[in-house]
Amino acid sequence: MIRVSTSMIFNAGVNAINTQTATLLHLQQQVASGRRILTPADDPVGAARALEVTQAKDVTAQYAVNHDNARSALGLEEAQLGGVNDLMGRLKELTVQAGNAALSASDRRGIAVELRARFDGLLGIANATDGTGQFIFAGYMGSTKPFGASIDTMIASPALEAAYAGDDGQRRLQVSATRYLEVSDAGSDVFMRIRNGNGTFATNYAAANTGAGVIDGGNVTDPAAWNALANKPISINFTSATTYNIVDSSPATIASGTYQSGQPIAIPGASVTIKGAPATGDSFSLAPSTSQSLFRTLANLVGALEGGTTAPGAAAKYTNEIGFALGNLDQANDNILRIRAAIGSRLNEVDSLSDVNQDLQLQYQQTLSNLQDLDYAKAISDLTRKQTDLEAAQKSFMRVSQLSLFNYL
């Protein structure tokens, strides 16, 4: 037989009421917050899983911010290169206009004045900054002004190139767990490393030429045969006004022929065309293409426009320079288009990653909802039941606590 004291009755009743009240309060907090898990103790496994999903969701949200930053950086670079393409169109117009034989010296100087202004405009684009003051085309060295060039200095020193103070780096942003996307291009790739001539070899004339011969940019007819001579500059030497020898750097004569103006001259693996009337002793050359900046191309063009055409052979040299400038501008334009195509490809990749990112965000949100969100129907039912349980506990305690023999005397 168990002896039950009055204090035991009161303690048990109060404990029961407190337990029911605590359970009711917990249910009320769940309903008020809409969350099933208020503390890890409610569901340790579910709480741990929810933490993992929340962290993954936060990382995905940061990728979304990086996507916006990547679009901004690439869009700004694209806008600047679009300006370069517009500038290139005008440069080609002026170069074609400069090739008009009817132009006077004053006309050529007028074209040179505009080309000088275009040179400064190109330099301004090459030194453009983004919204944070970082130079777009400086590679990793965003705080360093990348380009320094004086057209007068470059004209005076034909071998001098524009100074580039940046590096070859491409700034990158992490746009997914495994992908770092390039959001810039080094100015050396955009404006400096442009293959001259036709991209494989460049033609030229000898400074001592006195005739009226003009050479075109040439083309490769047999890559394998040309590659055998690729590192051996070729000369076309006129032994008379109508005959020539083709000589390699040995020097050794590898071919001879009779000259006819406008007729292709076959070289092993390549072909060039010379027009006009070369003089005996005139010489033209083919050499492997090298890198030439867009600034150097403009400086050469302005130098030709501002030079005289009265010396023997000067008119032909001027025409040659105009042809070289057109070819080099085409190469520069192709290079800009190549880089713009790469930028467009990266922008498309960012859009694709953004779509995937949005799907992941939705999936994470659904997973968190399944883990954390409250089943309101069940919670309201439990709340009502617990209210009844609490009322029952309170009323039963009141009845038990009032038991006394004196109530019946």
Residue 340, in any domain of the structure = yes
Answer yes or no: do 232 and 216 share one domain: yes
Segment 68-75 mean pLDDT:
94
**CA neighbor of 54 nearest in space, from 359, 371, 364:** 364
CATH number of the domain bearing residue 65: 1.20.1330.10
Answer yes or no: do 140 and 260 share one domain: no
Q: State yes or no: pLDDT of 312 exceeds 80.
A: no
**CA neighbor of 268 nearest in space, from 286, 290, 244:** 286
Answer yes or no: do 392 and 273 share one domain: no
Answer yes or no: do 284 and 245 share one domain: yes
Tell me what pLDDT residue 53 has: 76
pTM for this model (two decimals): 0.82
* Cα angle, residue 64 at apex, residues 62 and 65 outer, rounded to 5°: 65
Answer yes or no: do 19 and 55 share one domain: no
Answer yes or no: do 177 and 314 share one domain: yes
Task: Name the β-bridge partners of 288.
Answer: 201
Residue 40, in any domain of the structure = no
Answer yes or no: do 369 and 381 share one domain: no
End residue of a domain, out of 269, 288, 307: 288
230 — pLDDT class (breaks 50, 70, 90): low
**Dihedrals phi, psi of 145, to nearest 5 degrees:** -65, 120
Residue 379, in any domain of the structure = yes
Answer yes or no: do 217 and 170 share one domain: no
Residue 43, in any domain of the structure = no
Domain count, the chain: 3
Distance (Å) of CA 342 to CA 241, 269, 408: 49, 32, 99
Answer yes or no: do 248 and 185 share one domain: no
Averaged pLDDT score across all residues of the chain: 86
Residue 393, in any domain of the structure = yes
Tell me what pLDDT residue 396 has: 66
End residue of a domain, out of 288, 304, 338: 288
In the chain, pLDDT over 90 holds for what percent of residues?
63
Specify whether the CB–CB gap between 217 and 197 falls below 8 A: yes
Residue 253, in any domain of the structure = yes
CA distance 219 to 217: 7
Answer yes or no: do 337 and 312 share one domain: yes
Answer yes or no: do 143 and 110 share one domain: yes
**Dihedrals phi, psi of 201, to nearest 5 degrees:** -145, 160
227 — pLDDT class (breaks 50, 70, 90): confident
31 — pLDDT class (breaks 50, 70, 90): low
Q: State yes or no: pLDDT of 12 exceeds 80.
A: no
Residue 42, in any domain of the structure = no
- Give me the numbers of helices (H) and strands (E) for the chain, helices first please: 9, 13
Residue 39, in any domain of the structure = no
Domain limits for position 279:
202-288
Answer yes or no: do 319 and 401 share one domain: no
Segment 213-241 mean pLDDT:
89
